[in-house]
Structures are given as structure tokens and as C-alpha cells.
Amino acid sequence: MLSTMLTLKHLVFCLSVFAAYADVEFESWERPPDNNPDLNRKDLGAMQDAWKTIMGTANQSYYLIFSSGLGTERHYRNVKCLQVHSSGLNHTLKSANYTSKWYDTRSKKMES
């Protein structure tokens, strides 16, 4: 009986220590609005707010002239000069439309 009580006291003590530690951990954690840890990274700096970045680059075209990465040769064998243009920004829905165009070296035409 005495050993059971002692074991129970140790269990209660350990649980209270773990609960206090967990409470401290959760209180020190800054939660981003969407509760996604990737949205609250300090190393991203000004690029952290994706919507602000999209608004700052609205209605502009971007070009990828050359790419050499994993899968580039297999998936984009006949593609050159990729152009992406943003338009149709909707602040309420937090959405944007993008148009992609590229030059197909086989057909020798710009396609989208």
C-alpha cells in the first residue's frame, strides 16, 4: 500500500512538471494568423507576407530565359523563354490569375 501511494505521488509530480513545461512552451510560441509555422519565419523578412508581395508585383511580366535543374530536361525539353504575367488580383478572396506563355522550339510558336 505504501509503495502504491509513493508511486502515485511520483506520477502526479511528473505529470504536473510536464504540464507546466508544456504550458511555458505554448505561451512562448507566436502563432501566425493561419496557424501555419511556415508563415511566421523570421528569415523570410519582407517576403513573409505573400499577399503584400503579390500586390507589389501586380500586372508585371516575368521571364525565365534559362533553367537547368532536376527535371528541366525531361519536362521542358522543347520549351524556351517562359513568361508569367499576373492579373486579376482579388484582395477579398486573396486570389490572383497568372498567364503563362512559352516558346515551343518544335512548333516555333509562342503557346499558353
Using one digit for the tens of pLDDT, what is the confidence trace for 56-105?
777 788 777 776 667 777 777 778 778 888 877 887 877 788 888 888 88
Residue 110 pLDDT level (bands cut at 50, 70, 90)? confident
Q: Give, as one character, the DSSP assignment of residue 68.
A: -
- 52 vs 16, higher pLDDT: 52
Domain range list for the chain: 1-41, 57-112
CA distance 57 to 46: 13
CA distance 82 to 34: 32
Using one digit for the tens of pLDDT, what is the confidence trace for 20-51?
455 445 455 555 555 566 655 666 665 566 77
CA distance 99 to 110: 13
